[in-house]
Amino acid sequence: MQNILILGANGRIACFAEQDLLAKTNYQLIYFLRNSSRLTIQNPNREQVIEGDATKVSDLERALVGVDIVYANLAGKDIVQQAQAIVQAMQKQGIRRIYWVSSLGIYDEVPGAFGVWNNQTLDGYLQPYAKAAAIIEAAPLDSTIIRPAWLTNQNEVNYEITHKNEPFKGTEVSRKTVGVVISELIQNPQKAINDSLGINKPNTDGDKPAWY
């Protein structure tokens, strides 16, 4: 049995991953978030809530006690401070395995006209996301960076994966897909160590996501 700490546990992708982990494993899930009243607990024997801020090392250290795997589903302008605090707290508590949700485009790996559009549209967002991912990758941790395409709320699981140093494929992917992929990765923690996975829906290549 594993203890999984989910940072940003009320995030939309995180909620899909949590449902999948509850259904397919017997793992204990520890939900870390700023406002615990937002979450509904279904199984108090397996779900625990800790209020905290991911920029605060002391909050993180408290939450990391007894944890095997960290899954960070975070966002925000202070994403770099969050990455720094998480690395510091994990090292202090001697925990190595982390899944870090980032974004397509952090390595300028999106090819063609879509890549140009993506860089322009995400200017100001991609830079801190790239820096935060680089902090996680450079840390003495066993990390997997997750780079979703543009997110949809489609009720589907349909994906293909690209790896670091490969051109990104497609334009979109559903949050449900990303949550299920992360759940599967957490169930196979020896896989994709120190890798960075692009996730997209097949056959969605284009100059922009379809809804733009």
Ligand X SMILES: NC(=O)c1ccc[n+]([C@@H]2O[C@H](COP(=O)([O-])OP(=O)(O)OC[C@H]3O[C@@H](n4cnc5c(N)ncnc54)[C@H](OP(=O)(O)O)[C@@H]3O)[C@@H](O)[C@H]2O)c1
Residues making contact with ligand X (CB under 6 A): 8, 10-14, 33-35, 53-55, 73-76, 82, 101, 103-104, 148, 150-151, 175
11 vs 170, which CB is nearer to ligand X? 11
DSSP string computed for 162-179: E-TTS----SEEEHHHHH
Q: Which two tokens stand for residue 54?
A: 């991911």
The residue number whose beta carbon is nearest to ligand X equals 11
Distances (CA, A) of 71 to 99, 121, 142: 5, 27, 12
Burial (0-12, 13-18, 19+ Cβ within 10 Å), 153: exposed
State the chain's maximal CA–CA distance in angstroms: 49
Q: Which residues pair with 100 in a beta bridge?
A: 72, 145
The minimum distance between CB 1 and ligand X, in angstroms, equals 25
| CA 23 – CA 20 distance, rounded (Å) | 5
Burial (0-12, 13-18, 19+ Cβ within 10 Å), 191: exposed
16 vs 27, which CB is nearer to ligand X? 16
45 vs 58, which CB is nearer to ligand X? 58
26 vs 119, which CB is nearer to ligand X? 119
Spatial contact of 83 and 143, defined as CB atoms under 8 Å apart:
no
The minimum distance between CB 42 and ligand X, in angstroms, equals 18
The minimum distance between CB 180 and ligand X, in angstroms, equals 13
The minimum distance between CB 178 and ligand X, in angstroms, equals 8
95 vs 178, which CB is nearer to ligand X? 178
Q: What angle do CA 176, 179, 180 make, to 5 degrees?
A: 85
The minimum distance between CB 159 and ligand X, in angstroms, equals 13
1 vs 82, which CB is nearer to ligand X? 82
The minimum distance between CB 76 and ligand X, in angstroms, equals 4
